[in-house]
Amino acid sequence: NAGVTQTPKFRILKIGQSMTLQCTQDMNHNYMYWYRQDPGMGLKLIYYSVGAGITDKGEVPNGYNVSRSTTEDFPLRLELAAPSQTSVYFCASSPNWGNEKLFFGSGTQLSVL
């Protein structure tokens, strides 16, 4: 039972490069989320999705894009990486509306130099 799987685990980007952080879950959860975690800060919501084909902005969406073509996958795209996007990124899922109990992946540590 894999739960929420994120790849890659670590990545270093140059300023201006693009990349996609992958997230997949095998629990058939409708809701999926992307958070970023900066040192000494709480997790900040970037984007979320309430089901395949539906996405919405969170608290800090600028510089990111998402898509949700299937229930299982919720990739996060950085088009023009900037140093301010250096962070640890967590994908999470939850089963139903109103179910706030999130299941998190193990994170992607991204450095933009």
Partner 1 sequence: GQQLNQSPQSMFIQEGEDVSMNCTSSSIFNTWLWYKQDPGEGPVLLIALYKAGELTSNGRLTAQFGITRKDSFLNISASIPSDVGIYFCAGVINTGTASKLTFGTGTRLQVTL
Residue 113 · residue 83 · CB < 8 Å? yes
Question: Binding to partner 1 by residue 87, rule CB under 8 A?
Answer: no
- Binders of partner 1 among residues 30 to 49 (CB under 8 A) are 31, 40-45, 48
| Closest distance to partner 1 from the beta carbon of 15 (Å) | 26
Task: Write the CA distances from 70 to 20, 35, 53, 57, 60, integer angstroms.
Answer: 16, 19, 8, 18, 23
Q: Which of 90, 93, 110, 112 binds partner 1 (CB under 8 A)?
A: 90
Closer CB to partner 1, 18 or 44, in the complex: 44
**What pairing do the DSSP bridges indicate for beta strands 87-94 and 108-112?**
antiparallel
Write out the binding residues for partner 1, residues 2-21 only, by CB under 8 A.
4
Strands 10-13 and 108-112, by their bridges, are: parallel
Report which DSSP code applies to 87: E
Q: CB of residue 13 vs partner 1: minimum separation in angstroms?
A: 20
Chain residues in the site for partner 1 (CB under 8 A): 4, 31, 40-45, 48, 50, 56, 59, 90, 92, 94, 97-102, 104-107
